[in-house]
C-alpha cells in the first residue's frame, strides 16, 4: 500500500522537460476524456517541440559557425587516425598469434620442450638421491644387524643412532614410501633386540633381591662371546631406560636393604661383588647401612655415566635420611627415662652416619641435614612422644568404666575456724570441764544477766542443751541463723564413733553410719546446732505454766511451748583450731590419674636435672612437666562428655564425680609442681569449681524437683476442705517425703557428713519453703482447712529423723534447714487459739516470721473481732526485745 503524503507537506514540482510533460498529460487522461482529438493534440505538441528544438540547434550553430567548422574537422581527423591504428593493431596481432609462424606459439612450443627436459633431469636426480640414501640405509642396517648378532652392544648403540638419523632425515619422496616403512620396521626390530640384550645383561650384572645384592664388574652377552663391562653397559643404555632402571634400583635398595635393615634384625655380609642379608639380633643397624653404602660407592657409583654419578647418589640422600628417622630413631624413642642413654648413643651414631655417608659419600646438601636437625631437638621429641603416650593412656583410663577401678573411702581433715554462729548450744552441766567445749571448737558466748535460778532450771544429765534462738533483727533481717558464715557445717560437730545397733533406733532416726569405721581415741557425741520444736527444755515448760494465767484460755499442751531465748555476745578470745576427720567415697580411677600426675612431675624433674641431652634451645623437661596439668584438664573435659548419660540418670553419679574432682584438687595441692605450679594451680582451681558446681547443681536439681512436686501437686494448698483436694496435697507431700528419704539413703556415705547434711538440708529447706510460701499466701483459712493444713504440715516432720544420730540427743535439723522452726510453729499456729498465738509471739518463739506474715495468718485464721484487732495491733508493734522476754 502506497504511503499517503499528508496534505500539508509541499508537493514535488512538476517536471519541466517535454517528455515528462507529455507523459503526465497522457497519464491524466481517462477512458472518457481519451479520444482522437486529444491524441492528435499530443502529436502536434510533440512536432512543435521537435521543430522548436531543431530551430534552436540551427541558430546555435550559426551563432559561432567557424568554431563549429573547426570542431567538425577535428572529429573527422580523429576518426581517420582511429581507423589507421585499428588496421596496424590487427596486423601486429596476426604476427604474434598466427598458429604456425606466430611469435607466441613458437615461444610456447620452445618453453614446453625446455620444461620437459628439465623435469626429466630433476626426476633422474631425485631417483639417484633416493636410491643412494636407501643404499646407505641398507648398508647401515646390515652393519647394525651384524653388531647385534656379534653382541657388540655399545657399538650397536652408536650405529643405531646413525641409522636413526638416516631414517629420520630422508629425502622427501621417500617420506611415505613403502620401502622406508619397511626399513623403519627392520630398524625398530634391531633396536628392540639391542634393548632386550642390554636389559637382560643389566639384570645379570646388577641383581637386587631380599637375600642378596650383586654388582658384577662385567657380563657376557647371551648367545655371543662379547663381554660387557659395567660402565659400558650402563653408558649403552638409553637415557630413559637408564633412569627407569635406576629408579627401580633405588626403590629396591630402599625396600630390601635400607628400610628392612632399619626395621628388622638383619646382619650384612659383604663379599667381593655381593652383599648378603642374614637374620641376626643385637647388631648395629647403622653399621649395616654403612656397609651397604660403602659397597655401592665402590662397585656401582663409580661406573655410572657421567651425568648420573652425582644425580643418582644424591637421589638417595633424602629417602635415606627419612628412613633413618621414620624407621629407626622415631620408633626407638623410649617411653621411660631409664631407656634414654642407649637411645642417645643411637642418635649419635645416626648423626655420624649422616655426616660421613649421606653428606660425604652421597653428596647430600650440608644445609639439609635432616638427621642432625632432628637430633638437636631430640629432647623435645622425647617429651612430645611421652606426652602423647601419657595423654593416650590417660584418655583410655578416663573413658574406662568407673566400676573397673573400684571405690575407695577417703579421709579429709577439716580445719575448724572461729566462727560466729547465730545459734549456739549452751551446756547446762556445771560439772563438765570448761575445756571440753573449747576442744570441739565451739564459739563461747558470755550470757547477760544469767541468774542462779536459770542455771538450776537446766537439766543436769549432760544432754540438756539450752539453745540461743535470739536473732539480731538489724543484722539478720529477723531470720533464724543457719551458719551460712561457716566454712563447713561439719566443723561444728564431733563424731560419735561408738558402735550403735540400728535396731535400737527408730527407722527415721537410725544412723547407718558409713563414716563410723574411722578409729578415734576420744569419741564425742554430735553436738546439735539448735533444739527442735519437740525437744523443749524444762525452763521453757516452766515459763509456759507461769504465763498461762496471764494469757488466759491457753489450750496449748507442753509440746507446744517455745524455746527459751538466751542473749549472748562474742568472746574476747577465740578458741584454737581443731582438726576433724570425715570420710567420703572416691573413685579408684582418680587415684590412677593422681598417680599419673605424680609420675609425670617426677619424670620431668629428673629429666630437667639430668645432663643426658646435648644443649637445647628450649628448657629440657618443661614440656613433659606441662603434661601433668594437661592430664587434669583432659579429665575435666572428657569425663563429663563420656559419662554424660550416667551423670544425668544416676542419682549418685554427679556426687561421685564431684567428690573425685574435689579430692583430686585437694591432693594436687600437696604436690610440688615446680615450674608448672601456676598452671597446676589453675587446674586445681578449675577442679574445685567443677566439683562444687556439680554438687551445687545436683542439689539445686532436687530442690527444684521437690518444689515442682509440691507446686503442681498441692496447687497452693487451696480448698483442702474438699477430700479430693486434700488427698492430692497429701500425696504430693508424701511423695516429697519419700523422695528426700530415698535421696538421703543414696547420698549417705558418698559425701562427707557435713556435705551430706548440707545437701539433704538444702533439699528439705526447699520443700519447707514452698509449703510456707503457699500456706502463708492463703487469704482465708476456714477452721476445717486449718486443721487439715496442720495435718499436711506434720507429714514433713518425719524428715527430722534424718538429722538425728543419737536418740538421746535432740536433732540438729535447724542448722541445715533454717526454716524448720518456722515450719514447725506454722503447724501449731494453724490449730492454735488467738491467745496461744499471742503467747508465742510475746515469748519470742515466732521471730522467724515477718510481722506482715503473722498479720496475714491471723487475718486468714480468725474472724474479724475486737480481739483479732487487738492481736494484730500488738503484732504490728514488732517482735519483743530479748531482754523483755
Q: Quick one: pLDDT at residue 775?
A: 93
Residue 573 confidence (pLDDT)? 31
pLDDT recorded at residue 409: 85
- Closest residue by Cα to residue 413 from 224, 612, 99, 670: 670
Question: Which residue shows C-alpha cell 582511429?
Answer: 82
d(CA 338, CA 350): 20
Q: CB-based contacts of 5: which residues, under 8 Å, 6+ apart?
A: 11
3-state secondary structure of 695: helix
Strand partners, 274: 214
Task: Record the cell numbers describing residue 744, joined without a space.
Answer: 538421703
Strand pairing report for 425-427 and 407-415: unpaired
User: For 638-754, where are the E strands, in sequence order?
Assistant: none
Q: What phi, psi does 377 have (nearest 5°)?
A: -105, 25
Judge contact between 261 and 217, C-beta under 8 A: no
The segments of the chain whose pLDDT lies below 50 read 1, 416-579, 884-885
Q: Which three cell numbers stand for residue 200?
A: 637382560
DSSP notation for 768-806: HHHHHHHHHT-S---HHHHHHHHHHHHHGGGGGGGG-S-
- CB atoms closer than 10 angstroms to residue 239: 10
pLDDT at 486: 38
Helix axes 677-714 and 622-642, enclosed angle (nearest 10): 10
Residue in 809, 813, 822, 811 with CA at minimum distance from that of residue 763: 813
Is residue 199 a contact partner of residue 241, using CB atoms and an 8 Å limit? yes
pLDDT at position 840: 92
Give 3-state DSSP helix, strand, coil % of the chain, rounded to 5.
65, 5, 30
What is residue 510's predicted lDDT score, i.e. its pLDDT?
36
Cell matching residue 371: 638427621
**Nearest-angstrom CA–CA distance, 657 and 640:** 9
**pLDDT score, position 91:** 82
pLDDT (0 to 100) of residue 191: 86
- In whole angstroms, what is the distance from residue 800 CA to residue 817 CA? 10
pLDDT given for residue 819 in this prediction: 93
Question: Would you state the cell numbers that stand for residue 809, as one nine-digit string?
Answer: 540427743
Residue 873 C-alpha cell reads as 495491733
847, burial (CB in 10 Å: exposed 0-12, middle 13-18, buried 19+)? buried
As a whole number of angstroms, the distance between CA 562 and CA 540 comes to: 7
User: What pLDDT, in 10s, does the model give residues 803-835?
Assistant: 988 888 888 899 999 999 999 999 999 999 999
Please write the tens of the pLDDT for every residue from 321-350. Answer: 999 999 999 988 888 888 888 888 889 999
* Residue 569, number of CB atoms within 10 A of its CB: 9
HEC letters along 655-676: HHHHHHHHHHHHHHHCCCCHHH
Amino acid at each position: 500500500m502506497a504511503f499517503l503524503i499528508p496534505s500539508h507537506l509541499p508537493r514535488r514540482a512538476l517536471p519541466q522537460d517535454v517528455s515528462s510533460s507529455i507523459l503526465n498529460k497522457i497519464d491524466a487522461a481517462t477512458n472518457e476524456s481519451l479520444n482522437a482529438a486529444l491524441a492528435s493534440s499530443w502529436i502536434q505538441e510533440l512536432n512543435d517541440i521537435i521543430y522548436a528544438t531543431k530551430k534552436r540547434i540551427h541558430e546555435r550553430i550559426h551563432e559561432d559557425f567557424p568554431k563549429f567548422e573547426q570542431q567538425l574537422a577535428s572529429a573527422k581527423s580523429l576518426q581517420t587516425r582511429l581507423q589507421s591504428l585499428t588496421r596496424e593493431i590487427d596486423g601486429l596481432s596476426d604476427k604474434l598469434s598466427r598458429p604456425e609462424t606466430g611469435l607466441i606459439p613458437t615461444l610456447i612450443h620452445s618453453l614446453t620442450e625446455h620444461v620437459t627436459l628439465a623435469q626429466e633431469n630433476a626426476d633422474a636426480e631425485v631417483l639417484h638421491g633416493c636410491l643412494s640414501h636407501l643404499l646407505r640405509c641398507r648398508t647401515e642396517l646390515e652393519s647394525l644387524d651384524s653388531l647385534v648378532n656379534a653382541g657388540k652392544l655399545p657399538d650397536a648403540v652408536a650405529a643405531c643412532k646413525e641409522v636413526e638419523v638416516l631414517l629420520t632425515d630422508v629425502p622427501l619422496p621417500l617420506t611415505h614410501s613403502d620401502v622406508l616403512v619397511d626399513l623403519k620396521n627392520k630398524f625398530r626390530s634391531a633396536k628392540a633386540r639391542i634393548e632386550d640384550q642390554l636389559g637382560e645383561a643389566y639384570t645379570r650384572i646388577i641383581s637386587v633381591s631380599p637375600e642378596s645384592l650383586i654388582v658384577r664388574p662385567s657380563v657376557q652377552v647371551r648367545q655371543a662371546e662379547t663381554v660387557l663391562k659395567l660402565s659400558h653397559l650402563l653408558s649403552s643404555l638409553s637415557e630413559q631406560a637408564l633412569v627407569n632402571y635406576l629408579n627401580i634400583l633405588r626403590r629396591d635398595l630402599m625396600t630390601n636393604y635400607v628400610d628392612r635393615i632399619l626395621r628388622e634384625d638383619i646382619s650384612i655380609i659383604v663379599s667381593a661383588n655381593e652383599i648378603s642379608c642374614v637374620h641376626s639380633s643385637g647388631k648395629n643397624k647403622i653399621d649395616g647401612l654403612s656397609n651397604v653404602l660403602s659397597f655401592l660407592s665402590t662397585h656401582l657409583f663409580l661406573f655410572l655415566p657421567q651425568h648420573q654419578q652425582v644425580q643418582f647418589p644424591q637421589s638417595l640422600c633424602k629417602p635415606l635420611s627419612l628412613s633413618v628417622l621414620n624407621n629407626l630413631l622415631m620408633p626407638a624413642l623410649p617411653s621411660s627415662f631409664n631407656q634414654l642413654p642407649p637411645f642417645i648413643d643411637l642418635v649419635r651414631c645416626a648423626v655420624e652416619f649422616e655426616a660421613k655417608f649421606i653428606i660425604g659419600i652421597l653428596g647430600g646438601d650440608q644445609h639439609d641435614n635432616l638427621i642432625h636437625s632432628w637430633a638437636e631437638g631430640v629432647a623435645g621429641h622425647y617429651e612430645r612422644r611421652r606426652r602423647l603416650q601419657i595423654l593416650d593412656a590417660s584418655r583410655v583410663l578416663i573413658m574406662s568404666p568407673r566400676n573397673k577401678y573400684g571405690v575407695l573411702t577417703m579421709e579429709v581433715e577439716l580445719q575448724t575456724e572461729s566462727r560466729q554462729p547465730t545459734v549456739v548450744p549452751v551446756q547446762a552441766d556445771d560439772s563438765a570441764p570448761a575445756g571440753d567445749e573449747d576442744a570441739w571448737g565451739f564459739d563461747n558466748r558470755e550470757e547477760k544477766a544469767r541468774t542462779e535460778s536459770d542455771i538450776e532450771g537446766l537439766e543436769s544429765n549432760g544432754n540438756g542443751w539450752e539453745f540461743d534462738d535470739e536473732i539480731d533483727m538489724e543484722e539478720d533481717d529477723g531470720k533464724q541463723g543457719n551458719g551460712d558464715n561457716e566454712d563447713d557445717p561439719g566443723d561444728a560437730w564431733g563424731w560419735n564413733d561408738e558402735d550403735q545397733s540400728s535396731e535400737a533406733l527408730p527407722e527415721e532416726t537410725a544412723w547407718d553410719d558409713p563414716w563410723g569405721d574411722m578409729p578415734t581415741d576420744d569419741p564425742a557425741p554430735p553436738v546439735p546446732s539448735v533444739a527442735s520444736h519437740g525437744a523443749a527444755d524444762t525452763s521453757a515448760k516452766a515459763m509456759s505454766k507461769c504465763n498461762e494465767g496471764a494469757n488466759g484460755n491457753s489450750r496449748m499442751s507442753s509440746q507446744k511451748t517455745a524455746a527459751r531465748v538466751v542473749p549472748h555476745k562474742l568472746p574476747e578470745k577465740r578458741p584454737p583450731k581443731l582438726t576433724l576427720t570425715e570420710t567420703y567415697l572416691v573413685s579408684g580411677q582418680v587415684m590412677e590419674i593422681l598417680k599419673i600426675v605424680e609420675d609425670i612431675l617426677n619424670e620431668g624433674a629428673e629429666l630437667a636435672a639430668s645432663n643426658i641431652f646435648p644443649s637445647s634451645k628450649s628448657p629440657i623437661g618443661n614440656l613433659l612437666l606441662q603434661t601433668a596439668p594437661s592430664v587434669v584438664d583432659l579429665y575435666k573435659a572428657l569425663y563429663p562428655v563420656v559419662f554424660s548419660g550416667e551423670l544425668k540418670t544416676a542419682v549418685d553419679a554427679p556426687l561421685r564425680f564431684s567428690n573425685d574432682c574435689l579430692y583430686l584438687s585437694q591432693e594436687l595441692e600437696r604436690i610440688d609442681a615446680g615450674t608448672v605450679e601456676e598452671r597446676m594451680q589453675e587446674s586445681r582451681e578449675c577442679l574445685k569449681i567443677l566439683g562444687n558446681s556439680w554438687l551445687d547443681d545436683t542439689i539445686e536439681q532436687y530442690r527444684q524437683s521437690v518444689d515442682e512436686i509440691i507446686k503442681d501437686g498441692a496447687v497452693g494448698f487451696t480448698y483442702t476442705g474438699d477430700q479430693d483436694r486434700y488427698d492430692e496435697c497429701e500425696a504430693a507431700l508424701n511423695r516429697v517425703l519419700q523422695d528426700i528419704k530415698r535421696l538421703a539413703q543414696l547420698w549417705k556415705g558418698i559425701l562427707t557428713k557435713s556435705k551430706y547434711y548440707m545437701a539433704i538440708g538444702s533439699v528439705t529447706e526447699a520443700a519447707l519453703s514452698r509449703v510456707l510460701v503457699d500456706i502463708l499466701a492463703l487469704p482465708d483459712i476456714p477452721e476445717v482447712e486449718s486443721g487439715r493444713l496442720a495435718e499436711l504440715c506434720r507429714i514433713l516432720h518425719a524428715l527430722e529423723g534424718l538429722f538425728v544420730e543419737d536418740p538421746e540427743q535432740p536433732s540438729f535439723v535447724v542448722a541445715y534447714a533454717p526454716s524448720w522452726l518456722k515450719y514447725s510453729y506454722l503447724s501449731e499456729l494453724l490449730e492454735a487459739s488467738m491467745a496461744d498465738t499471742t503467747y508465742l509471739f510475746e515469748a519470742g518463739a515466732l521471730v522467724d516470721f515477718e510481722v506482715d506474715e503473722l498479720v496475714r495468718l491471723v487475718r486468714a485464721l480468725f474472724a474479724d473481732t475486737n480481739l483479732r484487732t487487738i492481736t494484730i495491733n500488738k503484732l504490728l508493734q514488732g517482735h519483743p526485745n530479748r531482754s523483755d522476754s
